[in-house]
């Protein structure tokens, strides 16, 4: 009996301490993202970049006298799991803000939940244009580029090139099709002369691209748009290098010049691949970008990729929005985040008021060898300003009205 009493007493003490801890002076952020499987190469960067930002903010005393703390949940890339975790974070953990995910379907599901529960949701890596487009609302913010923006930015570049006969190829899932559709529809508007002579779609995580490459080369296109993501980025470039595809048919990939694609291949990546990226640790060569990259490398022993920037900036936006709001309140937080512009390692980033989409520059370039690094980098880099490839606020409100 005595033992039971002491155990019960113990439980009560633990509960009290725990509840004090929860009610303590912190701002709580819940992160739902995928931490298993191949996409971890992107999501770990978001998490680590966010942690770096949060640690710096907390070291300076936090925001409004409160520290930022965060809890992480692994949704294993499954939408239903992610949604359940988001619910748990809202109901049990009482988070002030939700963040995540890399899976667009999960992001859209959590976005609906946050609309109902009135909790701000910051999207850090999902690329679906629907998140801040037709499915956008007051409680969702997208802090990275989306497929619609990628399509517009790419189309502005290629509309000026002399290519006429295009072939479109890509991963047969939503991201691949969304990128291809966005590029193609904007390219056709900007340059009505272009024609699509064929398409090929392979399954996600295809390992052997040679049969597809042979078929594309036989059709002799002027240019090939390759809409791949994740592991297929490297796989396709390796196949292009082995077959000399890039020398016979020039091709483009979003993130084709990014570190996640080029670093694994070392000196053997194909040269002359056209690509876009939203973050490169070596460009722009500004002091703030260099010091951001150096800080990240010192902490984690690797160069930061785009996810690191998004995570880091999420922390900055959270801190500054609360500072501006003057109190910890979800509605006030949203009001002050709307239209907020902050300095970042790649220049000023703005959270657009009308659709809650971040406005950020896009870097366009061509893969080439570098005397400085053991891997290829983006060469002949051009920066496309965010305002030049955003859908207009009128287009957004039209899409939302549908």
Partner 1 sequence: MGFLEILFSAGTLSQILTGLSRTTILFIVSSGLSLILGVLRIPNIAHGSLYMIGAFTAYSVISFLGGGTFAFFAAMVAAPLVVAAIGFVMERGFFSYLYDREHLMLLLLTFSFALILGDLVKIFWGTEFRSVEPPAFIQGSAEILGLPVPYYNLFLLAVGPFIAVFLWLVVNRTKIGKISRAAAVDAEMVSAVGINVGWVFAFTFVLGCFLAGLGGALIAPMTSVSLGMDHSLIMEAFLIVIMGGLGNVWGALLGSLIFGLSQSLGIMVWPQFGIVFPYLAVVVVLSFRPRGLLRSVW
Instruction: Give residues in contact with partner 1 (CB under 8 A).
Output: 36-38, 40-41, 44, 172, 198-208, 210-218, 231, 233-235, 238-239, 242-245, 248, 260, 263-266, 268, 302
Indicate the residue among 148 and 206 with the shorter CB distance to partner 1.
206
Neighbouring CB atoms inside 10 A of 116's CB total: 9
Task: Please state the closest distance from residue 376 (CB atom) to partner 1, in A.
Answer: 12
Task: Please state the closest distance from residue 247 (CB atom) to partner 1, in A.
Answer: 10
β-pair partners for 74: 33
Indicate the residue among 306 and 357 with the shorter CB distance to partner 1.
306
37, 27 contact by CB (below 8 A): no
Task: Please state the closest distance from residue 368 (CB atom) to partner 1, in A.
Answer: 18
Indicate the residue among 37 and 339 with the shorter CB distance to partner 1.
37
Task: Please state the closest distance from residue 304 (CB atom) to partner 1, in A.
Answer: 13
Write out the DSSP string of 222-257: SEEEEE--THHHHHHHHHHHHHTHHHHS-EEEETTT
Measured CA to CA in angstroms, residue 249 lies from 217, 222, 224, 276 at distances of: 7, 6, 7, 18
Task: Please state the closest distance from residue 234 (CB atom) to partner 1, in A.
Answer: 4
| Beta strand 347-351 pairing with 341-344 | antiparallel
365, 382 contact by CB (below 8 A): yes
Compute CA 335 distance to the chain's CA centroid, rounded to the nearest angstrom.
23
Token pair 């796989």 is found at 235
Task: Please state the closest distance from residue 218 (CB atom) to partner 1, in A.
Answer: 5
Q: Give the contacts of 286 (CB within 8 A, at least 6 positions apart).
A: 345
Indicate the residue among 265 and 383 with the shorter CB distance to partner 1.
265
Indicate the residue among 56 and 199 with the shorter CB distance to partner 1.
199
Task: Please state the closest distance from residue 206 (CB atom) to partner 1, in A.
Answer: 8
Task: Please state the closest distance from residue 223 (CB atom) to partner 1, in A.
Answer: 16
Indicate the residue among 212 and 322 with the shorter CB distance to partner 1.
212
Q: Give the contacts of 169 (CB within 8 A, at least 6 positions apart).
A: 199, 200, 201, 202, 212, 216, 224, 225, 226, 227
* Distance of alpha carbon 101 from alpha carbon 73, whole angstroms: 10
β-pair partners for 362: 384
* Distance of alpha carbon 281 from alpha carbon 295, whole angstroms: 11
Compute CA 245 distance to the chain's CA centroid, rounded to the nearest angstrom.
29
Neighbouring CB atoms inside 10 A of 3's CB total: 7
Indicate the residue among 112 and 222 with the shorter CB distance to partner 1.
222
Indicate the residue among 133 and 307 with the shorter CB distance to partner 1.
307
């Amino acid at each position: 009996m005595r033992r039971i009493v002491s155990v019960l007493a113990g439980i009560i003490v633990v509960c009290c301490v725990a509840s004090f801890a929860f009610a303590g002076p912190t701002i709580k952020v819940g992160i739902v993202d995928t931490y298993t499987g191949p996409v971890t190469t992107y999501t770990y960067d978001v998490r680590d970049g966010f942690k770096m930002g949060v640690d710096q903010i907390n070291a300076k005393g936090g925001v409004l006298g409160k520290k930022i703390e965060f809890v992480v949940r692994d949704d294993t890339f499954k939408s239903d799991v992610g949604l359940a975790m988001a619910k748990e974070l809202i109901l049990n953990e009482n988070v002030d803000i939700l963040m995540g995910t890399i899976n667009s379907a999960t992001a859209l599901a959590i976005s609906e939940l946050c609309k109902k529960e009135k909790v701000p949701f910051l999207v850090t890596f999902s690329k679906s244009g629907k998140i801040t487009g037709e499915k956008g609302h007051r409680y969702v913010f997208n802090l990275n580029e989306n497929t619609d923006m990628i399509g517009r930015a790419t189309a502005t570049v290629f509309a000026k090139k002399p290519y006429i006969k295009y072939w479109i190829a890509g991963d047969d899932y939503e991201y691949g099709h969304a990128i291809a559709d966005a590029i193609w529809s904007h390219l056709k508007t900007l340059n009505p002369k272009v024609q699509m002579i064929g398409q090929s779609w392979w399954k996600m995580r295809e390992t052997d691209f040679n049969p597809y490459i042979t078929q594309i080369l036989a059709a002799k296109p002027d240019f090939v748009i390759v809409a791949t993501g994740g592991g297929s980025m490297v796989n396709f470039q390796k196949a292009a290098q082995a077959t000399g595809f890039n020398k016979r048919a020039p091709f483009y990939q979003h993130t084709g010049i990014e570190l996640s694609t080029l670093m694994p291949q070392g000196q053997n990546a194909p040269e002359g691949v056209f690509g876009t990226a939203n973050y490169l640790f070596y460009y722009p060569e500004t002091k703030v970008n260099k010091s951001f990259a150096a800080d990240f490398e010192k902490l984690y022993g690797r160069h930061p990729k785009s996810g690191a920037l998004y995570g880091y900036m999420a922390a900055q936006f959270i801190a500054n929005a609360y500072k501006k709001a003057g109190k910890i309140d979800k509605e006030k937080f949203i009001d002050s985040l709307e239209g907020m512009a902050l300095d970042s390692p790649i220049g000023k980033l703005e959270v657009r008021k009308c659709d809650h989409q971040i406005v950020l520059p896009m870097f366009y370039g061509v893969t080439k060898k570098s005397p400085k690094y053991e891997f290829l980098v983006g060469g002949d880099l051009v920066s496309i300003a965010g305002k030049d490839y955003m859908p207009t606020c009128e287009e957004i409100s039209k899409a939302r009205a549908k």
